[in-house]
Chains A and B, each alone.
Chain A
């Protein structure tokens, strides 16, 4: 049973880069044909898909964030990462990492990590 755990800085200054990592445990990040995503949820609001990296290594990003987002995989460490540059207060949110199965559904989720953008 694959499990995910987010880690990274909980406080980021405006204009700086947000960096988060999602560790995959209980199996290999390369197994099962999973694609790996980042999703966020501003306080009191709904879910927003940020992007994902396919099992092939291809990446797909939300068009509204594309110019600022990079998602990468480190298979040697069994983890994947998110970098979001030039952050503003609007990027304050709970960030979730998630695994998308072959049926295009997010069936594995991390517990989420709160990131606040403030000086």
Chain B
């Protein structure tokens, strides 16, 4: 019942820049902040970006987030092999009165 839409996959060669979109609506992204999570294979998700564009301590500055209207984006610059993972956006939804996650994007490093 994901209400945030992401592309199922994205890919790039080492060193390239990859961008992942997250499309929502006025009740979620349009009125609340967006967070991004990275899930490496077989592990729990990890917070990557919070409050649209803030990086927690320890997250490389190759990762950046942005938001405009009812959409958000995660950019990975200087793509590395260890970035191969699933990425999820998330936001509060005022209509559902609950937290919603994106559909998830699998990033492959070619």
A interface residues, Cβ below 8 angstroms from B: 37, 46-49, 51-52, 60-64, 96, 101, 103-107, 109-112
B93 CB, nearest partner CB in chain A, Å = 10
User: Which residues B56-110 have CB closer than 8 A to chain A?
Assistant: 56, 88, 90, 92, 96-104
B45 interface hit (Cβ, 8 Å)? yes
B interface residues, Cβ below 8 angstroms from A: 1-2, 32-33, 35, 37, 43-47, 50-51, 54, 56, 88, 90, 92, 96-104
Specify which of B37, B43, B51, B98 lies most central, judged by the most chain A CB atoms within 10 Å of its CB: B98
A110 CB, nearest partner CB in chain B, Å = 7
Docked-complex contact B88 and A63, CB < 8 angstroms: no
Docked-complex contact A107 and B47, CB < 8 angstroms: yes
Point out the residue from B44, B90, B104 that lies within 8 Å of A110, measured CB to CB: B44
